[in-house]
């Protein structure tokens, strides 16, 4: 096969690799993506919720003021370009667990930092929703049908002959000071976006990924009829009339991609804390999140090979983090714009 010169070789087409490819194509860069489709990749399993205010203390997510508007704009552009809908802006109804929750809400609501995110609270909403302490409305939230984006973008890459549907073989990579050779490809830059499978990447083996398996159920309910997203330690995400995604769990250091009996019970118990409605499990899904101990992505350059980069560690927040950090990485590669120290791949040594 004739040698093909490209500028960027990208390994992985989850949401990270997709966003990076999107920006590079918009710049008319010559790219090639290598990805072996995996139905249980984190991006294909993700519930896709972006909740700007999380945890018991109802704290704003890291950098959310910057991440959210950027992500929304980019996803809306991509929806137009790919002619598919995958982004749904809607509030999250946070079911309070105690009187304390309500007090925290009322206090934070007075804080200008939270004006954009915390709305009113209601004593109750839909039939069958259990809310003895009330429900706070989180504004500026959204959910994204990530698999729809991944599929549509994959289709585009295939049509333009930019995707190699194959497993990347690290041993076949050759490098010199000008870049890389991989089979018939000659690339100036190489960016790894492999999700949790980066644990098998020998070039970044010093990065301590802590894999977090996530599981969710798709349940059918005769009694619960709502279009609202509910949250109380877990999410009820309406998908179609009477059908909901319920999740997700956190299981550390388990690389199996099936839902355990224990998790099934845990999720159903959480369902019954939120609602008195019936639920029948119709589907189960599990995938592995690429998570870091400090809950920050890993974005940057290899210490020894200056043309080699990593874009990973999106953890539980791939939807909000991937657009912004893909773009930041491109700015870093092309213009030397510094990346935040918090995402430095060398921070662990």
Ligand X SMILES: Cc1cc2nc3c(=O)[nH]c(=O)nc-3n(C[C@H](O)[C@H](O)[C@H](O)COP(=O)(O)OP(=O)(O)OC[C@H]3O[C@@H](n4cnc5c(N)ncnc54)[C@H](O)[C@@H]3O)c2cc1C
Give the residues lining the site for ligand X (CB under 6 A): 11-17, 34-36, 38, 41-43, 45-50, 167-168, 193-197, 214-216, 247-248, 287, 289-290, 312, 314-320
CB of 18 to ligand X, least distance (A): 7
- Spell out the SS3 assignment of 118-176: EEEEECCCCCCECCCCCEEEECCCEEECHHHHHHHHHHHHHHCCCEECCCCCHHHEEEE
Q: Is 289 helix (H, G, I), strand (E, B) or coil?
A: strand
CB of 288 to ligand X, least distance (A): 6
Contacting residues for 304 by C-beta, under 8 A, at least 6 apart: none
Q: What is the CA radius of gyration of the chain?
A: 21
CB of 314 to ligand X, least distance (A): 3
Whether residue 326 contacts residue 332, with contact meaning beta carbons closer than 8 Å, is answered with: no
Closer Cβ to ligand X, 11 or 207, answer by number: 11
Closer Cβ to ligand X, 134 or 218, answer by number: 218
Question: What CA–CA distance (Å, rounded) separates 72 from 323?
Answer: 9
CB of 310 to ligand X, least distance (A): 10
Closer Cβ to ligand X, 97 or 201, answer by number: 201
CB of 178 to ligand X, least distance (A): 23
What's the DSSP call for residue 28? T
Burial of 22 (0-12, 13-18, 19+ CB in 10 A): buried
Closer Cβ to ligand X, 38 or 232, answer by number: 38
Closer Cβ to ligand X, 134 or 318, answer by number: 318
CB of 248 to ligand X, least distance (A): 4
CA angle 168, 170, 176 (to 5 degrees): 115
Measured between its terminal Cα atoms, the distance across the chain in Å is 41
For 19, the token pair is: 């966003």
Closer Cβ to ligand X, 84 or 128, answer by number: 84
């Amino acid at each position: 096969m004739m040698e093909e010169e490209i500028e960027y070789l990208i390994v992985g087409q989850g949401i990270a690799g997709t966003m990076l490819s999107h920006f590079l194509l918009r710049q008319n860069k010559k790219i090639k993506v290598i990805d072996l489709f995996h139905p249980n990749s984190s991006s294909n399993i993700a519930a896709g919720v972006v909740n700007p205010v999380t945890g018991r203390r109802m704290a704003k997510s890291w950098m959310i003021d910057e991440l959210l508007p950027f992500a929304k704009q980019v996803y809306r552009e991509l929806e137009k370009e790919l002619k598919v809908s995958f982004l749904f802006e809607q509030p999250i109804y946070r079911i309070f667990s105690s009187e304390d929750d309500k007090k925290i809400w009322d206090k934070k609501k007075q804080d200008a930092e939270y004006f954009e995110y915390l709305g009113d609270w209601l004593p109750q909403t839909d039939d069958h929703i259990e809310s003895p302490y009330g429900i706070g409305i989180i504004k500026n939230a959204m959910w994204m049908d990530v698999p729809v984006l991944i599929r549509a973008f994959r289709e585009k890459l295939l049509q333009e002959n930019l995707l190699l549907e194959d497993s990347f073989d690290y041993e076949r990579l050759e490098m010199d000071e000008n870049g890389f050779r991989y089979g018939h490809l000659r690339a100036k830059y190489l960016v790894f976006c492999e999700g949790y499978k980066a644990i098998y990447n020998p070039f970044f083996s010093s990065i301590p990924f802590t894999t977090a398996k996530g599981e969710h159920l798709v349940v059918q309910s005769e009694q619960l009829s709502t279009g609202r997203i509910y949250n109380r330690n877990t999410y009820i995400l309406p998908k179609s009339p009477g059908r909901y995604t319920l999740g997700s769990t956190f299981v550390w250091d388990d690389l199996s991609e099936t839902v355990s009996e224990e998790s099934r019970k845990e999720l159903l118990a959480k369902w019954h804390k939120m609602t008195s409605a019936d639920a029948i499990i119709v589907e189960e899904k599990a995938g592995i999140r690429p998570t870091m101990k400090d809950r920050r992505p890993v974005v940057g350059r290899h210490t020894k090979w200056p043309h080699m980069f990593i874009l990973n560690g999106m953890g539980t927040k791939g939807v909000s983090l991937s657009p912004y950090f893909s773009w930041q990485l491109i700015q870093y590669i092309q213009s030397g714009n510094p990346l935040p120290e918090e995402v430095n791949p060398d921070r662990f040594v």
